[in-house]
Amino acid sequence: MSNGSSTISGNDLRRKSRIPNPIAFLEAYFGSGVKMIGLALILLTKTWSLILRGRIDWPETVRQCEMIGLKSFLVVGLTALFTGFAMSLQISRELVLFGADTAIGGVVSLALIREIGPITAGVMVAGRVGSSIAAELTTMMITEQIDALQVMRIDPVEFLVVPRYMAGILMMPTLSVYAMFIGLIAGINIAYGAANIPAATFLDSVKQTILERDFVVHFLKAFINGTIVTTFACAIGLSTKGGAEDVGIATTRSIVWTMTMIFVFNFVVTSLTYAPR
């Protein structure tokens, strides 16, 4: 009997040990999140200190502009095109029902400039470029290439992060404008096909609706998105150690963090810059 009771007691203890502690889980989860944000802020501060001192490797920056910008044009363009198709189709049909078909151009262009353009470019670059940066830097950490740079007295932030950051903040606004332009073309075609609105009427509504501050918001969001993608991807890559498995983990973390922060800051900027028209 005593052996049986001790066996049951041992099984109960093992079963209880497998039950997750929600407080410990939340503490570990939010603790790692705060640590990640802190690492990104520290890295961003050091990056800007190097930029302000003119320590920029321009040839490498140009190469990174090709990797981040030129090679993202196709995927950003396709995404913006079909996003513009879907959004314009829905908006056109609804406004026609309310007899406000002449406002289609203004509504579509406002959504493209303030929201869809920056979000589309930011999310696609985060998925294509952010994950690549994190995987590349994590591999360099695992293979001790970062340690080799430090032994040779080469600053890893200056050598690896600054060119990628500069390319990110230079190319992200370009990609955002490109996404906005492609979405606008899609909107013009859908408005004509679904609501029989001529291109001239569509563009006239755009002129009456869009203000200069809308473009300011557009470029501000694009700049922030470029900062988020490159900073978090580099911070994750330079802080990950271990083996080959950690490359995949770093890639996943980069995508999750960059996309989440893009949507968070998109809302923050929208709420701070909102004003009645």
State pLDDT tens for residues 169-228: 999 999 999 999 999 999 999 988 878 888 998 999 999 999 999 999 999 999 999 999
Where b means 16+ CB within 10 Å and e means fewer, 165-182 reads: bbbbbbbbbbbbbbbbeb
Helix axes 162-195, 58-68, angle to 10 degrees: 30
The pLDDT, as a whole number, for residue 18 is 56
SS3 helix, strand, coil % of the chain, rounded to 5? 90, 0, 10
**Alpha carbons 249 and 243: distance in angstroms, whole number:** 10
Residue-wise pLDDT tens digits, 108-141:
999 999 999 999 999 999 999 999 999 999 999 9
Residues 6+ apart with CB under 8 A from 182: 77, 80, 81, 84
The confidence score (pLDDT) of residue 4 equals 47
Measured in whole angstroms, the distance separating CA 128 from the mean position of its chain's CA atoms is: 10
Give the least confident one: 86-95, 162-171, 231-240, 250-259. Answer: 86-95
Chain centroid offset of residue 270 CA: 16
| Short-list 159, 173, 175, 172, CA closest to 59 | 159
Closest CA to 46 of 160, 152, 184, 191: 160
H-helix or E-strand spanning residue 102: none
pLDDT class of 34 with cuts at 50, 70, 90: confident
What is the average pLDDT across 90-115?
A: 87
Q: Which residues contact 264 (CB under 8 A, 6 or more apart)?
A: none
Cα 22 to Cα 260: distance, rounded to the nearest angstrom: 23
**CA dist 44 to 29, 117, 144, 257, Å?**
23, 25, 23, 15
- pLDDT value at residue 11: 55
- Amino acid 174: pLDDT: 94
Q: What span, in angstroms and rounded, lies between the C-alpha atoms of 44 and 57?
A: 17
Burial of 20 (0-12, 13-18, 19+ CB in 10 A): exposed
- Between 277 and 51, whose confidence is greater? 51
User: Across all residues in the chain, what is the average pLDDT?
Assistant: 87
Number of neighbouring beta carbons within 10 Å of residue 206: 21
Predicted local confidence at residue 25, as pLDDT: 55
The structure tokens 């889980």 sit at 25
Distances (CA, A) of 263 to 100, 126, 134, 144, 207: 30, 12, 20, 34, 28
